[in-house]
Amino acid sequence: MSAKRTNPCKGDSVENTRLPGEKRRIDSREGVITVKDFVLLKSFDVVSSGQYRKFVLRKKDLCEQWAMTMHDNYHSIMLEVRNLAKYSGIARSQGHMEIAMVCTKLIACVECPHTEKIGWNTCCITKVQCVGGIRVNSVSESVPVIVHQRFLRFCLSFWYTSRFEHVLRRIVRGKYTKTYCDEYTLSEVSAMINSDTEIVEAAVQNFVNGLMHVHGTMSALLATPKHGLETLSNFSI
């Protein structure tokens, strides 16, 4: 990984000028750039077989500001994603056993929640019978866990955000296969990714929107503080 690459998102980087304890809004420019730094670092790391993150760490150790910011932003999103698992424990502690189970299944499921279009099923949350429904557990499990169609947006948002690394890796590898990347230098592939709107815009915005929806929904259900609806690095959940 050539040092000439420097910061691939130099024009967008935001200096870490926030006061200690100050939070950043999820949908603010700074919040979006935080997510974008995570997406870029992870994407470049995928196509470089783990070399890009080492490159960033070397530059961080040399106190290059862009690398320190990118590294901090990457870990902010990693923490945010890991924090989502706490909702399952909170739901269980408040007696919402079905919600806790759905969250646990979504976090563990490799496949995206998908619609069952035929047959009658019982929603595991409401216990109401419905035609079809949304399957939230892996197809490898013999007994499907189904929820009503009304929960589709939440299930997709929770799965997308809690499995964001997995989703991102699949997107990147689906477009930038090893065979394809072998025809270009790492710098050329990185430049392609940096200008790929499906990755640097759509994936980023989907994560931001999904995170806002998950925090908003769970805050209303569990009566937790609404910091997550407004900010990243939501340590209250």
For residue range 59-104, what is the model confidence (pLDDT) as tens digits? Answer: 999 999 999 999 999 999 999 999 999 999 999 999 999 999 999 9
Cα separations in angstroms, 116 against 13, 112, 145, 155: 43, 12, 11, 14
116 backbone dihedrals φ, ψ, rounded to 5°: -90, 115
Stated as kind and residue range, the H or E segment containing 122 is: strand 114-122
Q: Which of 205, 226, 228 is nearest to 84 (CA)?
A: 228
pLDDT of 16 higher than 50: no
pLDDT of residue 29: 87
pLDDT of 105 higher than 50: yes
pLDDT of residue 227: 53
pLDDT of 226 higher than 80: no
Band (pLDDT 50/70/90 cuts) for residue 7 is: low
pLDDT of residue 8: 52
pLDDT of 11 higher than 90: no
53 backbone dihedrals φ, ψ, rounded to 5°: -65, -40
Cβ(171)–Cβ(188) below 8 Å = no
Whole-angstrom Cα distance, residue 74 to residue 59? Answer: 15
For residue range 129-173, what is the model confidence (pLDDT) as tens digits? Answer: 988 899 999 989 999 999 999 999 999 999 999 999 999 999 999
pLDDT of 235 higher than 60: no
Whole-angstrom Cα distance, residue 72 to residue 203? Answer: 20
User: What average pLDDT score do residues 107-120 get?
Assistant: 89
What is the residue extent of each domain of the chain? 3-88+164-230, 96-153
DSSP symbols for 7-56: -TTTTT-----PPTT---BTTSHHHHHHHHHHHHHHHHHHHTTTHHHHHH
pLDDT of 106 higher than 80: yes
For residue range 179-225, what is the model confidence (pLDDT) as tens digits? Answer: 999 999 989 999 999 999 999 999 999 999 999 999 999 988 888 66
Whole-angstrom Cα distance, residue 193 to residue 36? Answer: 12
The one-character DSSP state at 61 is H
